[in-house]
Structure 1
Amino acid sequence: MNRTYRAVVGVLATVLLAVTLTGCSSPSSWIAKKYQRVGTNTYRSSLPPQAVAAAINRKFKAIDRVDDLATLGSGGGIFLRYPRLVVGVTPYGPGSRITVDKPSGGYNRYYSHVGRRWSAPGSNGWNSHGIPSFRGGGPGSGK
């Protein structure tokens, strides 16, 4: 083996190790592993919404968070916005109901909670700053 080949293999091994150690999982796959599935993209936990949302946000820092439990009580929830997901954590009996939606579905589902604070997502969700990504591009765009 020549030195170039060994260097390339060493770099690839280092990158692979770094990816493995950082745990390249998504919020949706982590939630699916951690909580009990009760429906399509819907889960439940015996913990209250504040504890569940805090655990999810500790693992995956959200772009934005809306918490209207204090004002709406059991009609409210905690809503976490990610570039390509919306996670809703609402009261469900003594525990929580967790929903995982694509940006447009989550925005529409929870519009009454997040509509005044979040802008509508673009076709690819939101960027890391919470701005809608790709807002069109038909005739006359960019003028």
Structure 2
Amino acid sequence: MIGGACAALVTVLALGGCGSTSKESWIGDKYKKMGAGTYRSPKAPPAVATEINKKFRSIDRVDDLATMGAAGGIFLRYPQLVVGVLPNGTGSRITVDKPRSGYNRYYSHVSGRWASPGSHGWTSAGVASFRGGGPGSGK
């Protein structure tokens, strides 16, 4: 009985490390906090985005730095998060948002590539999750 409880606890802890909280915690540990959901790195955006994507593989990435220069950025989409990596002087500003607020914030960068997130973000395949339905939906 104790062994089963320990196994269940280990499973819960392991699965808990896969969520959006662990991504933001890791970003918070690795980069200097500037404010709520905003971090700073002395490295250029491509290097920072690569570091984050190596640790947590995104379901999609939009990079418009080549076309927009300092007004652009690199945007990583996860099922429950949007991470923006933007030029900030010689380094980067990193933002971490929930799907809806990240999509709205970076709409001008990602709207042609990403669908609007559903009520629970995106699925791991990148499509909008359940958006609700009315009477008779799904029949």
Tell me whether the two structures share a fold, i.e. TM-score over 0.5. Answer: yes
Which of 3, 7, 17 aligns to 1:9? It is 3
Question: What value does the CA root-mean-square deviation take over the aligned residues?
Answer: 2.2
Q: Deviations over 1:103-140 (max 9, x none)?
A: 00000000000000000000000000001001212213
Query: Structure 1 residues 83, 39: CA separation in 2 closer, same or farther (over 3 Å shift)?
Result: same
CA distance in 1, matches of 2:71, 2:50: 19
Residue 74, structure 1, aligned to residue 67, structure 2 = no
Aligned to 1:24: 17
Q: Which runs of 5+ in 2 are unaligned?
A: none
Q: Which runs of 5+ in 1 are unaligned?
A: none
CA distance in 1, matches of 2:101, 2:16: 27
Aligned to 1:55: 51
User: What is the TM-score of this pair, normalised by structure 2?
Assistant: 0.89
CA distance in 2, matches of 1:51, 1:125: 26
Paired residues for 1:37-116 under 5 Å: 37-116=33-112
Query: Structure 1 residues 124, 23: CA separation in 2 closer, same or farther (over 3 Å shift)?
Result: closer
CA distance in 1, matches of 2:83, 2:133: 29
Provide runs of 4+ in structure 1 moved above 6 Å: none
Q: Figure out how many residues of one structure are paired with residues of the other and give that number.
A: 136
Which of 120, 127, 131 aligns to 1:124? It is 120
Shift of 1:12: 3.4
Q: Deviations over 1:80-113 (max 9, x none)?
A: 0000000000000000000000000000000000
Identity fraction in percent: 62
Query: Structure 1 residues 54, 122: CA separation in 2 closer, same or farther (over 3 Å shift)?
Result: same
CA distance in 2, matches of 1:114, 1:14: 39
